[in-house]
Amino acid sequence: MNNSTPLTKCEVQELVNEFYTKLDAHAPVEEYINLFAFEDEGLILQFPGSKLTTWEQFKPWYEGTLNKFFDEIHRAEKIELTTNNEQADIQATVHWEASTWEPPHAHSTRIVASVNQSWVVIRSAKTQQPVFKHYIVNKISYL
């Protein structure tokens, strides 16, 4: 396989499943290095309030989310992709649940949302495995 081998929906789904499994388990930050195109100058990770383009920016952002959210559930409900020899362009809807707690409140707050996202997935030049080049949260609709 080389960089011009089109990505399949199955490969993209495996990447998404691995990413969300790690997020829900609050995996160590080092486990994410092979899921994103950190070596690519065109990397864009855009979350509410944050636009990240490097591994050095991702690490503190991720550590911050670990301190803010818990009991998370991520589930890709819809993945629509178009592919060419270079990348897969994806529109996705993700079901997201999480809890937050702010001292000194007596109870946590539960978040349940449908999140509209745009992704670009490419093959890593190093591993030939699918990686996110763009991961953009477009809209969060709280349920």
**pLDDT of 1 higher than 90:** no
**pLDDT of 80 higher than 70:** yes
What pLDDT, in 10s, does the model give residues 91-132?
A: 999 999 999 999 999 999 999 999 999 999 999 999 999 999
State residue 2's pLDDT score.
52
**pLDDT of 3 higher than 70:** no
Average pLDDT, the chain: 95
pLDDT-derived band at 34, boundaries 50, 70, 90: very high
- Contacts of range 92-97, beta carbons closer than 8 Å, 24 or more positions apart: 92/16, 92/116, 92/117, 92/118, 92/119, 93/117, 94/20, 96/72, 96/140, 97/71, 97/72, 97/73
Q: Give CATH for domain 9-142.
A: 3.10.450.50
State residue 100's pLDDT score.
97
| Tokens of residue 132, six digits | 């996110």
**pLDDT of 87 higher than 90:** yes
pTM of the predicted structure, to 2 decimals: 0.93
